[in-house]
């Protein structure tokens, strides 16, 4: 009996070592990177011993790395289109699941020395990024900001230079509020920016850095990046006519009652909300994984570790969202996301 007990203890210890040696790799969106790298991953590793390596390379690059089977999971703030889902499934033999993790506001931040408060409405924002409004003292901007001494300085409209879910969210907003933007530019992870919008930064951090370094600049970043860099943010006029600052509270208002399809892809994000107190540019972000884990997992242990990570993010991880300035998922969305995770298999074996 003692010998059997010793063998069982030894086997358990070896299992613990094996679990601790599993390393999951992921890549993609910079929008949720602070949440993933500063909150989720260190706390998950501490709780489980499973290491997670996440590279914030942009949504487009994350999707490519998942498609090429380089990583266990991708991350994107832009859901895959029907065509992309079909192409990846035909290439790799498995559907891709969208597992939501959080929502957050995309803030417009600016660099105007001596000015910390700025108001813009939807039409003015669109025309700035269309290159139709080129100076800060333009009468349309001045009319929205009475009493503010706006400089005659040229506007440097800064955008992402890489494939970006944050760009998808922002251009979805512009497409929703400006027929001209929708017809000339449209929404996407990468778009053909009007010639005047010439400054491009890589990642949310790159755009924040460009705005910081460039007097006269305006750019779009996930709110966390504006807060961390102590950058001022634009107060936007929403569809109800109210002036709303990007914040956790105003993002929660905007996302209350959103209707998600069965696969949890929120194609148009939460833009131009009708909620009177809602901020008008809010996006959801997802972890992208193969339903058939043998596509990217080298072992059953890796596949089980990924499922464990996803379930942890949907439960314990959600408790960390608000402290990191992200909106937590509703209990209903968590339940539906866990149901998707429960469909994951490894060589036909359920992983739940």
Using CA atoms, how far apart are residues 319 and 299, in angstroms rounded to an integer? Answer: 30
Full DSSP string of 220-265: EEEHHHHHHTT--BPEEE-TTS-EE---HHHHHHHHTT----TT--
Does 12 share its domain with 49?
yes
What pLDDT sits at residue 195?
A: 67
For residue 203, CA distances in Å to 32, 160, 222, 298, 342 come to 11, 6, 10, 30, 32
Point out the domain boundary residue: 255, 282, 309.
282
Q: What is the mean pLDDT of the chain?
A: 93
Domain enclosing residue 328, as ranges: 2-104+283-350
3-state secondary structure of 32: coil
For residue 12, pLDDT beyond 70:
no
Residue range 50-88, pLDDT digits in tens: 999 999 999 999 999 999 999 999 999 999 999 999 999
Does 6 share its domain with 17?
yes
Does 92 share its domain with 183?
no
Does 123 share its domain with 96?
no
What pLDDT sits at residue 15?
A: 38
Instruction: List, in sequence order, every beta strand (DSSP E) within 42-155.
Output: 51-56, 73-76, 96-110, 119-120
Q: Residue written as tokens 């990024």?
A: 129
Does 14 share its domain with 94?
yes
For residue 8, pLDDT beyond 60:
no
Mean pLDDT of 258-275: 91
- Structural contact between residues 308 and 50, judged by C-beta atoms closer than 8 angstroms: yes
What pLDDT sits at residue 333?
A: 95
For residue 10, pLDDT beyond 70:
no
Find the CATH number of the domain harbouring 144.
3.40.190.10
Does 11 share its domain with 68?
yes
For residue 4, pLDDT beyond 60:
no
Does 134 share its domain with 249?
yes
Does 225 share its domain with 265?
yes
For residue 197, pLDDT beyond 90:
no
Share of the chain above pLDDT 70, in %: 93
Q: Please name which of 18, 220, 254 lies closest in space to residue 125, comparing C-alpha atoms.
A: 220
For residue 1, pLDDT beyond 60:
no
For residue 346, pLDDT beyond 80:
yes
Helix H or strand E segment including 199:
strand 199-201
3-state secondary structure of 327: strand
Does 267 share its domain with 135?
yes
Lowest-pLDDT range of 112-126, 182-196, 306-320: 182-196
Point out the domain boundary residue: 230, 262, 282.
282
Burial of 183 (0-12, 13-18, 19+ CB in 10 A): exposed
Using CA atoms, how far apart are residues 212 and 111, in angstroms rounded to an integer? Answer: 6
Burial of 76 (0-12, 13-18, 19+ CB in 10 A): buried
Does 149 share its domain with 48?
no
Residue range 147-181, pLDDT digits in tens: 999 999 999 999 999 999 999 999 999 999 999 99
Does 307 share its domain with 248?
no
Higher model confidence: residue 134 or residue 15?
134
Rounded to 5 degrees, what angle do the CA atoms 241, 284, 312 make?
Answer: 140
Q: How many domains does the chain have?
A: 2
Point out the domain boundary residue: 239, 255, 282.
282
Q: What is the pTM of this model?
A: 0.90
Does 237 share its domain with 326?
no
Residue range 307-331, pLDDT digits in tens: 999 999 999 999 999 999 999 999 9
18 — pLDDT class (breaks 50, 70, 90): very low
Give residues with Cβ within 8 angstroms of 62, minimum separation 6.
26, 27, 28, 29, 71, 74, 75, 76, 288
């Amino acid at each position: 009996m003692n010998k059997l007990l010793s063998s069982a203890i030894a086997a358990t210890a070896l299992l613990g070592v094996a679990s601790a040696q599993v390393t999951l790799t992921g890549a993609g969106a910079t929008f949720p990177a602070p949440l993933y790298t500063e909150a989720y991953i260190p706390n998950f590793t501490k709780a489980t011993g499973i290491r997670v390596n996440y590279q914030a390379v942009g949504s487009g690059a994350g999707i490519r790395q998942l498609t090429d089977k380089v990583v266990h999971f991708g991350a994107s703030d832009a859901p895959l289109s029907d065509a992309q889902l079909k192409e990846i499934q035909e290439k790799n033999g498995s559907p891709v699941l969208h597992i939501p993790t959080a929502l957050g506001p995309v803030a417009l931040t600016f660099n105007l020395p001596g000015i910390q408060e700025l108001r813009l409405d939807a039409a003015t924002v669109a025309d700035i990024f269309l290159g139709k409004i080129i100076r800060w003292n333009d009468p349309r901007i001045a009319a929205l900001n009475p009493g503010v001494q706006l400089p005659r300085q040229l506007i440097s409209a800064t955008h992402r230079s890489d494939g970006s879910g944050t760009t998808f969210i922002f251009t979805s907003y512009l497409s929703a509020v400006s027929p001209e933007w929708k017809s000339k530019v449209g929404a996407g992870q990468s778009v053909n920016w009007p010639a005047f919008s010439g400054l491009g930064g890589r990642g949310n951090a790159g755009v924040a850095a460009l705005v910081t370094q460039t007097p006269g600049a305006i750019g779009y970043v996930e709110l966390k990046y504006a807060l961390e860099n102590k950058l001022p943010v634009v107060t936007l006029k929403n569809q109800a006519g109210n002036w709303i600052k990007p914040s956790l509270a105003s993002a929660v208002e905007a996302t209350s009652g959103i209707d998600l399809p069965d696969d949890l892809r929120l194609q148009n994000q939460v833009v131009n909300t009708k909620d009177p107190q809602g901020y008008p540019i809010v996006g959801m972000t997802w972890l992208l994984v193969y339903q058939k884990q043998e596509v990217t997992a080298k072992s059953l242990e890796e596949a089980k570790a990924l499922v464990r990570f996803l379930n942890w993010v949907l439960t314990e991880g959600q408790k960390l969202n608000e402290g990191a300035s992200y909106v937590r998922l509703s209990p209903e969305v968590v339940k539906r996301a866990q149901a998707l995770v429960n469909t994951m298999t490894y060589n036909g074996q359920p992983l739940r």
